[in-house]
Amino acid sequence: MSRISLTTLRQMKQKGEKIATLTAYDASFARLIEEAGVEVLLVGDSLGMVVQGQSSTIPVSLDEMVYHTAMVSRGSRRALIIADLPFLSYASPEQALASASRLMKEGGAQMVKLEGGAVMLDTVRQLAALGVPVCAHLGLLPQSVHKLGGYRIQGRESRDAEVMLADARAMEQAGADLLVLECVPRALAAQISETVSMPVIGIGAGPSTDGQVLVLYDMLGITPGKRPKFSHDFLAETGRIDKALAVYVEQVKSGHFPAEEHGFD
DSSP 58-120: TT--HHHHHHHHHHHHHH-SSSEEEEEPPTTS-SSHHHHHHHHHHHHHTT--SEEEEE-SGGG
Residue 17 lies in domain: 6-262
> What is the tally of structural domains in the chain?
1
d(CA 115, CA 56): 15
User: How many of the other CB atoms lie within 10 Å of CB of 260?
Assistant: 8
d(CA 218, CA 238): 15
Q: Report the sign of the C-alpha dihedral through residues 222, 249, 254, 172, in that order.
A: positive
Question: Is 182 a catalytic site residue?
Answer: yes
The answer to whether the beta carbons of residues 179 and 115 sit under 8 Å apart is no
d(CA 11, CA 6): 9
Question: Do the domain assignments include residue 25?
Answer: yes
- CATH code at 135? 3.20.20.60
Q: 182, 194, 237, 250: which one is catalytic?
A: 182
Specify the pTM: 0.96
The answer to whether the beta carbons of residues 97 and 132 sit under 8 Å apart is yes
211 SS3 class:
strand
pLDDT tens digits for the chain (265 residues)? 789 999 999 999 999 999 999 999 999 999 999 999 999 999 999 999 999 999 999 999 999 999 999 999 999 999 999 999 999 999 999 999 999 999 999 999 999 999 999 999 999 999 999 999 999 999 999 998 877 676 788 999 999 999 999 999 999 999 999 999 999 999 999 999 999 999 999 999 999 999 999 999 999 999 988 888 899 999 998 999 999 999 999 999 999 999 988 989 8
d(CA 251, CA 233): 13
User: How many of the other CB atoms lie within 10 Å of CB of 119?
Assistant: 8
Question: Do the domain assignments include residue 1?
Answer: no
